[in-house]
A = this chain, B = another copy of it.
Amino acid sequence: MGLNLGVDKEAEHFAPVRLSVEAVTLERGGHVLFERLSFSAAGGDFVELRGPNGAGKTSLLRAIAGFLKLTTGAITFEGVEDAQLALHLLGHRDGLKAALNVEAHARYWASLLGEGADAGAALDRVGLARIADLPARILSQGQSRRLALTRLVTAPRPVWLLDEPAAGLDTQGKDLLDALIAEHRARGGLVIAGLHERLTEEATMTVTL
């Protein structure tokens, strides 16, 4: 994957951002996932969340994104006024509309989440340019995942919350992911990822649930 495409050109540095998770306890359906979890990370860091199935990685990421209420504790961002406008959430589900084609998705996200690299360049970057006009319905698993990745490329946001981002990606796709994360960190971005396998990119911190 050549890294000389689209993105880097306007890759100006993010304003310093800092996330602190303080004594967070999370319950779901009356069952405690984890108690008094604390850690903090800043722009440039790559935090990996590890833990068995059902440990609470997805839940924690959704809590950081502000979708899940904390049972106790606090999650705070410094350096951004509205957290939900400063973060990307790449969940288990890709958020695609079967009826719309690949390019439509890229353009939609660009305008919804913030104009960055233009849709075309982004698709080029994730290697979907060739199939820009295929409807999402017929995309293969990995192609869908790559399409979801375009969100990260089109809209520059300092905080990335990635939930098993490599799931369904082929080796080349995993390399792309590594490259994107590396670039993002180089720009002062913060990456928090729930992972089961290892990425080549080294994590600065591992939080085990």
Contacts and interface: CB of A to CB of B under 8 A. Distances in A.
A78 interface: no
A2 interface: no
Contacts of A51: 170
A67 to B, nearest CB: 15
A89 to B, nearest CB: 15
Interface residues of A, number: 28
B169 A53 contact: yes
- Assembly stoichiometry (copies): 2
Interface stretch (A134-142, A154-162, A185-193): A134-142
Nearest to A167: B167
Contacts of A146: 53
A28 B134 CA distance: 12
Q: Which of A28, A29, A141, A167 has the most CB of B within 10 A?
A: A141
Interface of A: 28-29, 51-54, 58, 92, 131, 134, 138-143, 145-146, 164, 167-173, 196-197
